[in-house]
Structures are given as structure tokens and as C-alpha cells.
Amino acid sequence: MGKVYVFDHPLIQHKLTHIRKKETGTKEFRELVDEIATLMAFEATRDLPLDEVEIETPVSRMKSKVLSGKKLGIVPILRAGIGMVDGIVKLIPAAKVGHIGLYRDPETLKPVEYYVKLPSDITERDIFVVDPMLATGGSAIEAIHSLKKRGAKRIKFLCLIAAPEGLKALEEAHPDVDIYIAALDDKLDENGYIVPGLGDAGDRLFGTK
């Protein structure tokens, strides 16, 4: 079974409180999502492998650690996932970025893929799939299926707020995926919004309401 990490770091919790508030405007919302994504990426990269190299400081020679050069990829789920990309790229500037777009079929209510553009070497990369809200889990589950179908082997999922329903569905559908969340909320309402949540993350990020 994949692991679930819920971040209780004070900086993340503080910033999350501000993005939840309904009076927080687009500019501040965007900046805070970016900062939370950076802090989450710091934790989610904790298991990156290191190599030892020999270097010379002004004082003496020493053995020191550097990243082993593992290839990473970030895949935001359109559209709100885009808000988390820059914050992660700040820490992992060499990461390649793919995109997956899904819409909900009005009849089947199932997510349907309308856009997929991924790094060509997706099979060799460790992938961070990002979406601020894990509500029913439908989009995350489908996006990860889509990545696995194209050969991705090691996938982590990062979101800001999860509903218990979505978390359970994602864990069941993809037990090999580690899930990183900043807050686990109470439930979904009848319209599929996370309660208490923060409203529509895409609208709040892009000012489209």
C-alpha cells in the first residue's frame, strides 16, 4: 500500500488558513498556493537518492552528498494543477512538466481525457502528479491510469486539500502511489465541493468567478 502523508508543518497550515478564507483575492491566493507547493515538494523529495562525491573546501578535502541525478517529472491536472507547478520547479529546476486535461462526461459522470502531453522519457522519470483538490478522486485516478498506460512507473500525488471519499478511492485504485496532502477535510457536499475546503481552486487561482 502507498503511504499517505498529511503535512502538519506550521508554515503550511498557516498559509492554508489564508487560502481557505473567502476574502483572500486572486493575487494572494496564487502566491500562497505557490509557496505551499514549494514546502510540500521539500517534503515529497525527502527520499531522493544521493551520491557521495569528494570536494575540496578552502580548509580541507571532504566527502559530501549530491543528488544522484534521478530524473523527475511534474504533471499538473488541468486546470488548477498548474497553480502548483512553479512552486515545485523552484526546488527541482531540471524537472520536465507534462499536462493532463480531463473533463467530466455529463452522462456517465466519468472523467474523459481531452489533452495529454508528456515528456517523451516518461518511463524513466519519477512523477509528481499535482492537483490542489482531491474531491471524488475521479480525475486523479484517471490521470494516474493514463500515466501508467504510457509507462510511468513511480508516481506520487500531491494535493492541498483532500476529502476522505477521494483519498479512499485513490488509495484503492492506485495502492502503489504515495499521497501527500496538506489537509484532510470533513466531506464532500452534494455538489462535489470539499467541506470546508476553499471553494473552486481553479476559479480562485485564475480569477474566473
- Binding site, annotated residues for uracil: 194, 199-201
Where in 144-203 is the site for ligand URA (CB under 6 A)? Answer: 192-194, 197, 200-202
To the nearest whole angstrom, how small is the minimum distance from the Cβ of residue 207 to ligand URA?
Answer: 14
Strand residue runs (E) in the chain: 4-6, 50-56, 61-67, 72-78, 96-97, 99-104, 111-117, 126-130, 133-134, 154-162, 178-184, 187-188, 194-195
As a residue count, the chain comes to 209
Binding residues, by number, are 79, 104, 131-139, 194, 199-201
Q: Is 126 in the site for ligand URA (CB under 6 A)?
A: no
Catalytic residue among 30, 45, 154, 200: 200
Q: Which three cell numbers stand for residue 96?
A: 520536465
Residues 6+ apart with CB under 8 A from 7: 13, 39, 40, 43, 180, 181, 182
Where helices occur in 8-96 by DSSP H, the ranges are 10-20, 26-44, 85-89
Reply yes or no on whether 105 is catalytic. no
Binding residues for 5-phospho-alpha-D-ribose 1-diphosphate, by number, are 79, 104, 131-139, 200
Reply yes or no on whether 203 is catalytic. yes
For residues 87 and 18, give the distance between their C-alpha atoms in angstroms, rounded to a whole number.
17
Q: Which residue, 67 or 195, is less far from ligand URA as judged by CB?
A: 195
Catalytic residue among 26, 104, 126, 154: 104
Reply yes or no on whether 104 is catalytic. yes
Reply yes or no on whether 61 is catalytic. no
- Taking CB under 6 A as the criterion, the residue among 135, 140, 160, 170 binding ligand URA is 135
Q: Is 133 in the site for ligand URA (CB under 6 A)?
A: yes
Q: Which three cell numbers stand for residue 116?
A: 495529454
Q: Is 87 in the site for ligand URA (CB under 6 A)?
A: no
Residue 71 has phi, psi (to 5 degrees) of -85, 135
To the nearest whole angstrom, how small is the minimum distance from the Cβ of residue 139 to ligand URA?
Answer: 9
Active site residues: 104, 108, 200, 203
Binding footprint of ligand URA on the chain (CB under 6 A) = 80, 133, 135, 192-194, 197, 200-202
